[in-house]
Structure 1
Amino acid sequence: MSADTAHAADHHGDVEVDALDLADELPGSGGVATPDVAEYATRLGDDALILSQQLGWWISRAPELEEDLALGNIALDLLGHARALLRYAGTASERSEDDLAYWRDEPDFRCCWVVQQPNGDFGDTIARQLIVSAYQVELYDALTDSTDAGLRAIAEKAVREVSYHRDHAVQWTRRLAGGTEESRRRITRALTDLWPYVEELFVDDDLSDRLGDAAPRPSALREGFDTTIDAVFAEAELERPQVKPAMAQGRLGRHTSHLGYILAEMQWLARRHPGATW
């Protein structure tokens, strides 16, 4: 077992269960989110839910057994974040986490476009993980200062986990860039293909204004993200992709064609057997 895998297994056992149980322990005024906080929590919860669903595909398909474990544990961490965030979001409309996960249609989801991109090969998945985890570290670190007790509690748990996710993605980016000619070609291509979706993560909107000190402005997270990415690219001798941003509008419920297929796979059992428990 590699050091990375041991870290993944140990990390999973200690922290991920806390994330799954966190939504039962939300502090504050009855643990009820305001409508604006609920909308914001839905965005973050949808990001985590869709990326978790995507990573689950790699179990039994990763290039080595250690990665089956590592990617599976990362997926479970993200599922824990999604459960806590969606359960908190649902308090504003008296909906459960399952209602929000399984009984919304495509236009009702608020996930960013980058998490919807196909798994592709291992390089594509690592490039996506590098982008998302570098963003989430900045996001949850900033949310530990939120004036909203529910968001702050979730962030205090999540920031420890996404720091591991980022380290995992950074190490693999370096390995692929510094490996064979083919592995370097693939990680370079993957980063170039995914880079148009980065800008969406840092766009301010009306919700940013309404949230005030409850959440950081997305644009304020860009500097920390760029610092991390620039350091990784410098060490891996990679160049920042020079591509135009995509006209991504996932926060408005306008999605890529990929999301429908992801939701169909994720939701079919709940919709086929409504109300079933197991």
Structure 2
Amino acid sequence: MAFDDAYGALTDHDDDARWAYGTGFTDPLQGVPAELPEGVDRADLMAYCLMLGDDALILSHRLQQWVTRAPELEDELALANIGLDLLGQARLLLTRAAMAEGAGRDEDDLAYRRDPGEFRNVRLAEWEAGDFAQLMAQLLVFTTWRLAIFDRLSGSRDLMLAAIAAKGVKELTYHRDYAARWVVRLGDGTPLSHSRMAAAISDISAFVGELFRAHDIELRLAGVAVDPSGVRGEFDAVLAEVLTAATLEASGEISEISGLGRDGDHTEALTEILAEMQELARAVPGGSW
């Protein structure tokens, strides 16, 4: 169909869910049974979906802040697409969280109407990268960890979580490979790019330990959730392979952060993110745009 302008092409659609998934796609969870698995506590399932959903939502926002700041136009588009993929995962997971809660809230309520202490993302997702090398280190660590989690989560007893994870595996594989290529390119590049990439790996190391601390909720949801401590070996092997190709060494987990984002213990960075992300929704309650 022809349009007189780009805006017309973007707005001539009836599927309001298109934004996070691209144009013309159906709901990826259409037809997936929504019943909770037998014996699963609603509050635990909601909290677990919030953990995974908040991880994606917050890092998605961070990535969008890099559009217009990446080295090449191609990378700006890549980062925007990765951010949109993560936003799509966040929408699905927050929707599942709202369904598990059963209190009439939806994905928008959970994204825009919670305070920082109610968010359950790991601190790695909210960290603000100071340069492109730090961003690639952050993305490599996050996606390597999340891909290992989602690969196992695709076998969850919760069929909706399994479907979300199966879709996410395909996306996260690309995200991880994109970050890995840049880490190798910078690490095995000029002396300056090597030193910047090495510093970035060192900077990010403080956030790694939190990723593998099993939360009580994850342990209670055996068969539904994934125990993150069980993917550490895979994570270390992938990271070692990338760093070897990049002529870099893994940094020890020095000055590891205290507190857990999973328990709502965050840095000031999250408050700043939410102030920006939630401003319009809070200023115009019930508004539509």
TM-score when scaled to structure 1? 0.90
> What RMSD over aligned residues (CA atoms) do the two structures have, in Å?
2.1
Counterpart code for 1:183: S
8 Å CA contact 1:127, 1:169 repeated in 2 = yes
> 1:180 Cα shift?
1.5
* Alignment length (residue pairs): 265
1:126 Cα deviation after fit: 0.5
Please give the alpha-carbon distance, in whole angstroms, between the structure 2 residues aligned to 1:75 and 1:223: 27
Partner of 2:60: 52
Which structure: greater helix fraction? 1
Alpha-carbon shift at residue 244 of structure 1 (Å): 3.9
> Is the radius of gyration larger for structure 1 or structure 2?
2
Tell me the equivalent position of 1:232: 242
Alignment map for 1:1-278 (pairs within 5 Å) = 16-17=21-22, 21-22=27-28, 25-29=31-35, 34-93=42-101, 94-242=104-252, 243-278=254-289
- Structure 1: which amino acid aligns with 2:275? A
Decide whether the 8 Å contact of 1:23 with 1:88 is kept in 2: no
CA deviation map 1:5-35 (0-9, x unaligned): xxxxxxxx9x944998335554232799832
C-alpha distance in 2, partners of 1:121/1:84? 30
Gaps of 5+ in 1: 1-12
- Secondary structure of 1:187's counterpart equals helix
Given the two structures, how large is their TM-score scaled by the length of structure 2? 0.87
Deviation at 1:147, TM superposition (A): 0.9
CA distance in structure 2 between the partners assigned to 1:65 and 1:41 by the alignment: 34
CA separation of 1:191 and 1:248: change in aligned 2, threshold 3 A: farther
In structure 2, the gaps of 5 or more residues are: 1-17
Q: Match of 2:51, as an amino acid?
A: R
Say which is worse superposed, 33-42 or 75-84, in terms of deviation: 33-42
Structure-2 change in CA distance of 1:150 and 1:231 (3 Å)? same
Output the CA distance in 2 between the equivalents of 1:24 and 1:43: 23
Once the two structures are superposed, what CA deviation does each residue of 1:33-91 show, in whole Å capped at 9, x if it has no partner? Answer: 83211111100000000000000011122111000110000000000000000010011
Partners of 1:192 and 1:241 within 8 A in 2: yes
CA contact (8 A) 1:19 1:157 kept: no
Residue of structure 1 in register with 2:11 after alignment: none
